[in-house]
Amino acid sequence: MQTYDGLLAAVTAHEGQTQEVRDPATGAVIGHAPVHSVEAVDRAIETAAAAAASWAAISDADRAALLHRAADAVEAHADALVELLSREQGKPLNGPNARFEVGACAVWLRAAADTPHPNHEIINDESGRATMHYRPIGVVAAITPWNWPLMIAIWQIAPSLRMGNTVVQKPSEYTPLSGLALVRILNTVLPEGVLQSVSGGGDLGARLTSSPKVGKIMFTGSTATGKKIIEASAEHVTRLTLELGGNDAGIVLPDVDAKAIAPDLFWGAFINTGQTCAALKRLYVHDSVYDEVVAELVAFARTVPMGVGLEEQNELGPLQNKMQYDIVDRLVQSAIDSGATIECGGNPEREAPGFFYPTTIVSNIDPHNPLVVEEQFGPALPVVRFSDLDEALVLANELEVGLGASVWSSDREKALDVAARMESGTVWINGHGGLHPMIPFGGAKQSGYGKEFGAEGLKAVAVAQVVSG
């Protein structure tokens, strides 16, 4: 088991160019992350490609066993990982934050190991026999974001390894230390060359996504960057799984118990201080319960402390970077300028250290205000009033994104009817954003394509081959 100081020293040891990494809650310098060259990316790809055949030749059972050992390694180093994650990303230790994320890494590693292999017999009768096999692709590029830098990395790495691929991971330049630390821990278990990590800016990602030796690209991030990856992948027809922008809608029907649903509504929107692709980002509430839902949301919001992540009492933290802070600030200001009501928050302490933006709930807002139609990706929730369900569905569906959505009702059948009319990859009933390692997840429209998790996730990182005869 490595201490925080030991783990930090290991991932910052680098003789070349580095970048300063600061705690978004305090502004303090954490350390200096390596900035690798594009030549280093090429070497990592070559190393992964050289290891691919021997890794693919290992039995599926042995690869699964190694994933279990990797989960054990994550748990053995959990305290150091949690502290590094909290310092670098800003998320608090408690609530659905740093300890939760590190724990989820072990859970998803084991789930990827234990999911039944998707090979299966298609037909076996008098007409003949055919079987479906899922073969390794080769090298997978895993390009991971700054909001959940460990958990999303595992979502990409674990199934890729299970299916016999080798991986080159590039963490976000905003959270490089967490990504490097995770790979270092996994590599205490994995054979040499199977998992590589490179740290740096967008030029490294561009090198990965244009390489002819990369057979699959997995990317979680903005729709704009996803479109660039699609273009880069076209020359070599590289396989893609893209989980892109969200701006998820929730619809609250008139039969709800406002007080009962308020905590789940809140955490659906404000998990990870709103910095989650599948968070609830715009809420449509029926007029008959609108005032009560807003009041209960505000009341609950006032009970959830925000502050420095390493202080045990906090459950909300800062925005991870100045870019995201400025986006949230601009969008809330657009609501204020339009005459919308700021029920709580909306007035950050601009001279205070850290990128803290107060928990903000906005009512009486025009459904086409920028805070509603642009993804804020932060702790500000617009609540839109509606009286006609058909009109609410038009508003919920009119954007070009469709990652997740939710319906809130005490009548399950009614909720299911509404869910069927929502244009998104996942629709939750009386909850929002909950994920399970066996339930496939992925977006519709410009929120990307491809599924992750469970058997569908394993198939997505393999080449399907039919053997007939």
Whole-angstrom distance, CA of residue 448 vs CA of residue 250: 20
SS3 breakdown of the chain: % helix, strand, coil, rounded to 5? 40, 20, 35
User: Would you state the pLDDT for residue 369?
Assistant: 98
Tracing tokens 């990303």 back to the chain, one arrives at 89
> What domains does the chain contain, in order, with CATH numbers?
4-244+447-468 (3.40.605.10), 248-429 (3.40.309.10)
The predicted pLDDT at position 306 comes to 98
| CA distances for 316 relative to 263, 274, 313, 350, 356, angstroms | 14, 9, 10, 18, 9
pLDDT for the residue 15: 87
Q: Annotated catalytic, 423?
A: no
Record the tokens describing residue 339, joined without a space. 């005459």
Question: Which pLDDT does position 2 carry in this prediction?
Answer: 83
Q: Look up residue 274 and give its DSSP letter.
A: G
**Per-residue model confidence (pLDDT) at position 351:** 85
Q: Tokens for 366?
A: 């025009």
CB contact at 8 A, 366 and 352 = no
Q: Please report how many Cα atoms fall inside a 13 Å half-sphere around the Cα of residue 117, on the Cβ side.
A: 20
Is 344 in the active site? no
Q: Across the chain, which distance is largest between two alpha carbons, in Å? A: 78
Which helix or strand (DSSP H or E) is residue 380 part of?
strand 380-386
Choose, from 83, 88, 277, 423, the residue flagged as catalytic.
Answer: 277
What's the pLDDT at 244? 95
DSSP helix/strand/coil, 286: strand
Identify the active-site residue in 243, 296, 343, 456: 243
pLDDT along the chain (469 residues), means of 10: 92 93 97 96 98 98 98 98 98 97 98 98 95 98 98 98 98 98 98 97 95 98 94 96 96 98 98 98 98 98 98 98 98 98 95 95 98 98 98 98 98 98 98 97 96 97 96
pLDDT, position 408: 98
Distance CA 5, CA 209 (A): 34
